[in-house]
Chains A and B, each alone.
Chain A
Amino acid sequence: MILISPKTAENLYWMGRYIQRAETMTRLVISLFDKILDEDFDDAKNFYARLGIALNYDSSQAFLRQSVFEVEHASLISVIHYARENAILTRSHLSNRMFSRINALYLAYQKAKEERMVSLFWLESTLKELDAIWGNLELTLVEAKESPLIQLGKIVERMDLNIRMYDSIEAALLDVEKLNIIAEKIRPNHKHVALSSSNKYKTLEKINSIYGTLAYVSES
């Protein structure tokens, strides 16, 4: 029997989701930054508006500050904060290295926010850090009981964001096979997940309910 409580399992899953969200958002901010400079100054405003977020930058640097530090609940620092909160709650299940990398990333962001320091170079180094965090998961938690829960969060988030941000159900569908392999580790003999490309919102709903079909969800 795998000795992980429902609440801890959820925290591991959400940690995976938030780390993935941080990665996707970092890539997004980098690409929008490029577009602001090279193509359309308002591109990032338009993109964030589609997500229901209003940006009002007047320079590329202001865009970086807003997207990285200031947008409530959706800034990069808040996403990393949520990843860290879940890491704190599941710390006894994580390798020391994995925990300290996540924590160090958050502390670095906190310091940068205080100093109002952000740059493209900084974001690129964030990607390297996130790669290292995923690498830690692969290297130190191989076959560990926690690993599939984190990986499930990662893949669900990637599928979700591919649809939500890029309107690409097709890209999400590419991950279904991988999703089923991970799901099998969490709940052997589970009913395989099948997704169709017909309806964006139904697909999103199905993707986001997968966790609840595999694990008991805590009542609190």
Chain B
Amino acid sequence: MSIQESLKIVPKGEIALLEWDHIGERANKLSTPIMIRLKEILEDLKKSSYKAVVIVSKKPKIFIAGADIEEIKNLKSKEDFRFAVESGQGIMNAIEDLPIPVIAAIHGACVGGGCELILACDHRIASDDKTTKIGLPEVKLGIIPGFGGCVRLPRVVGVMNALDIILAGKTVPAVKALKIGLVDAVVHPSILESEALKLAEKVIKEGGKKRRKSFSGKNLQEKLMNSVLLPMVYSGAKKQVMSQSHGHYPAPLEALDVVKKSHGKSREKALAIECVGFCNVAGGEVSRNLVSLFFMMENVKKRTGVADASVKPREVDHIAVLGAGTMGGGIAYVAADNGVHVRMKDITTDAISKGYQAAARVWDKLLKKRRITKYEKIEKMSFVTGGLDYAGFKSMDVVIEAIVENMEIKKKVIAETYQQCSPDVIIATNTSSLSVTEMAEAHPRPENFVGMHFFNPVDKMPLVEVIRGPKTSDEATATIFELSKKMGKTPIVVKDGVGFLVNRLLIPYLIEAAFFLQEGMDIQKVDDVFVKKFGMPMGPFHLMDEVGIDVCVKVSKIFKKSLGERLQLPDALVKLEDSHRLGKKNFKGFYKYDSRGKKQEVDSTIYAELGLGTPTNPLSDDDLIGRAMYNMINEAALVLVEEKIVDTAEEVDLGMIMGTGFPPFRGGLLKYADSVGTEKMVDSLELYAKKYGLRFKPSNPLRNMAKTHRTFYS
């Protein structure tokens, strides 16, 4: 019954108003039951005396959010996929083939299958609301549009605009959709339905004809780009995809191929090509990994960070940040950018200036790219204030400490800050290397003390580790978890422990790179292997330059104290400490930098400086990847199974993807581990341990998994 009600026809004279409101769901989705119901309605419409159809959604922010990804996840065989695609294509064809014109009135998210549905309609009219976004994000899940999107979008907006959307998995706002001809008109949301009905009446009056919009190009350039110059368009698109993905993502390439092959073909042939293309990528490892990442992200949205569902996070509108340095300024930016009032406190006006600068710089860039308007910049900037004293702290919901990494100073400042705030204030520390448990001693109410670890650069790195000390309350944890989300970040809850989750795993990886260097590897070659071959966003040496070589050495030494023989410091790393090479911040690291801080080639004087000869590259690519990755995985087994820093393998993977840019197509560190297999890994680690040192000794939990043939995810 509810399915009947979710999709129903409301008669409006000669017009059938098709109201879409999936009962019991937040979003309208093209799930199987809905598709069956839609088919039924289309059959009815075919037989009816209506002269036009208008499709509207009754959801406040969603038109149609696409296919049901849960269903896609459960499809296994090629046959399953073919069947799903063909039935979807069939329904879109049925819309297109209705004898009467169909008008889509689009308000809210209209993506994936939703976008493919409107492409099968005769007319499209959209609301100018901010929530209206139209596009085909399929490639983000490792698949391609399969309900005719690869075929119809190029026909409606031209090949170039279509590739721009399909290959990047983009959605466009209403104004852009109008500009490229994806919709025919844009109106205020309050009159969307009435305007769509008016349009239907007009179409009926003019004979009720069907319409097939086909792109012809507004000017000569567009016409040429959509005809004789197409080969150029295709090769340009391919080049761009390859430069961004290094070929690790098959879906955009497949989509490009489908668009190319199906262009100019009959509908039937074109859709058959699309179906084959879809089945080529769907269900593949990359797609499965991207789909599972999607669900991890969805889970974060739903969760509160604590097990007890009755715990309510506090509403946070005003925060203070202690310390307006790189991290403090970055935190101020993300807070203000997301509508949270933020007050920076530091000890000099110059320091506060730096905080303002850090925030303004990012907005200025966005302003230049026209991603925000000047009014938005002024408004966002007005959310940032600064002061040398504790003015306003009585009104703060949360104070985030981002001062110098020194336990004594931090404790002193936390105690002092507490005195200036309302008694139930939550104080969070952005420490990356100190014990949250020990720091909590400074807060008279340690249940309101928690870690909130942002990654550098804060505006770009999506992860926040919410570190729960032994005394941290559920409420404080949930509040910081929710605040992280409000600030546009992806939080994971971790227990206190050296380096928490991400740095604990990342530091051994960076140290291993220093071993590579010491053993005669070329810096550029190592970085290339990890970027181009493995898919990391930057290689380990480049990353050390970004983080600061001094910071890496300092943190490594702290780790060494806790991790003992599992962590060894190569001489090369120790020597680096005295080298005045700090990385990007002093324009001198593994790489050279120009006067504006842009990375240049490897600084080859570093080899001699560290007493190393010309690189001989004795290690194979597989050895490099194996040593670096297995090392991390070995540590991850301890972190997850023995120390229970996080609860699930998913959280390790989400942390690594969001915190280090670990390649999403690999699904995360532990998904990658499972693809290798725990047994093979233990064997390799034992070999490495003999050859390179005890740090590779397989950890007990990893050994146990191998022995019992279990994986991280099983």
Q: Do A and B come from one complex?
A: no
- A binding-site residues for B, Cβ under 8 Å: none
- B binding-site residues for A, Cβ under 8 Å: none
